[in-house]
Amino acid sequence: MCSSKRYLTDKELEDALYDSDLYMDDINLNLQSSDSELDCETRVEKQVDANDGNLANSRKSLLEYEQSSSADEPDTDDDQDIIIPARNTRRRPRPLAKIDKPKSDMKPPLGTVWKKSSMMQKRRFAANVMKTALGLKQGIKPQTPLEAFRLFFNNIAIELILLYTNQKLQAIKDRETRSSFLQKSCNFQKEEILGFIGFLITAGAYKGNKDPVDEIFSEEGLPIYRATLAKHRFLLLLKCIWFDDKNTREGRKEHDNFAAIGELWNNVTDTFPKFLNPSESVVIDEELITFHGRCKFRVFIPTKPAKYGIEANVLCDSENYYCFAVEPYAGKCENQPKGYNSDPKVVKRLVALAKIENS
């Protein structure tokens, strides 16, 4: 076998660029191969003769082009743009698909009949008819964000935090008798508890919950922080904040691992179903509440964005995204009933907590 494939020389490539139409056929001939030795030799001889003539013609045309361009145009250092005509890349159009007109009834192989129009709906059962209007309940019309917040954090919740926080402060005073600062510190007031909660909400909204305390209370921080609480009072409240009676906690933890904050949690979540009427789209799902502190029932879920936190079962309305009931998963206890965290019992407890009544 003899092959006539070869690479183009620099001179042939240069001539092809200047005179592409004249030399393109010769390039295609040079790149073809033959199965016969005799045909290969004859083709090579013809190509050599043709190339010699074409090269001479291309050089002659190139010299004439340079002389004419130098006589008509002024001398410039910029290279002339060489335009190579593009090949015709038009493709044959595809045939159009033949789609039959849909019939009135389309019958699949299994015998199921599909209709183009929806079937007539039957009458609903009386238990499935919503008798309450969706939206806020009668008499619930908060005018400001503070009024809406106080619907959930009512006076009972604030007084609960105030009571246990002052108990913690007194216990620290009894333990650290040599600290003149603690001995002179007075009990906290209700306004300080509200200001402390608003302080934390504002810091979270402005992404400053991880900033150092000195930076928060400096002149570069927001003025609302310094206007809400003094720095030493904020640090003392952060140290003494408490949510349950520490003397009875061990007895309550035998039945509930969530005893440290269970009383305040129940007081706040019990107010959820009091202000809004649910729609038909009420669902139950799991939620991971972000928490990186020390907790025996903290879970790790790698598929969640936060990964670490407290898992909770939530009953929500999918139309207005309102939470009616929430129950945290606090793990197993020693005296916990069998199957307490099973799915059917969790659903029944959430429905009971939501107090959804269709009357």
Q: Is residue 103 part of a domain?
A: no
Q: Is residue 124 part of a domain?
A: no
- Domain final residue pick, 72, 91, 111: 72
pLDDT means per 10 residues in the chain (359 residues)? 63 66 51 47 52 55 57 48 53 60 58 71 76 83 90 92 94 90 91 94 89 92 92 93 90 86 91 88 89 87 89 90 90 80 88 77
Give phi and psi for 318, each to the nearest 5. -75, -10
Q: Is residue 111 part of a domain?
A: no
Q: Is residue 254 part of a domain?
A: no
- Domain final residue pick, 72, 87, 117: 72
H or E element at residue 316: strand 308-317
Q: Is residue 15 part of a domain?
A: yes
Q: 282 with 203, same domain?
A: no
CA distances (Å), 198 to each of 165, 193, 224, 236, 347, in order? Answer: 17, 9, 10, 16, 34
Q: How many domains does the chain have?
A: 3
What is the predicted pLDDT for the residue at 333?
80
Record the pTM: 0.62
What is the predicted pLDDT for the residue at 136?
86
- Domain final residue pick, 72, 102, 120: 72
Q: Is residue 105 part of a domain?
A: no
Q: 159 with 206, same domain?
A: yes
Angstrom distance (rounded) from CA 129 to CA 78: 84
User: Would you say 229 and 192 are in contact if contact means Cβ atoms under 8 Å apart?
Assistant: yes
| Segments of 35-188 assigned E as strands | 105-106, 114-115, 135-136
Q: Which amino acid is at 184?
A: K
Q: Is residue 109 part of a domain?
A: no
Domain, as residue range, for 173: 145-240
What is the predicted pLDDT for the residue at 17?
67
What is the predicted pLDDT for the residue at 230?
93
Q: Is residue 82 part of a domain?
A: no
Angstrom distance (rounded) from CA 73 to CA 68: 9
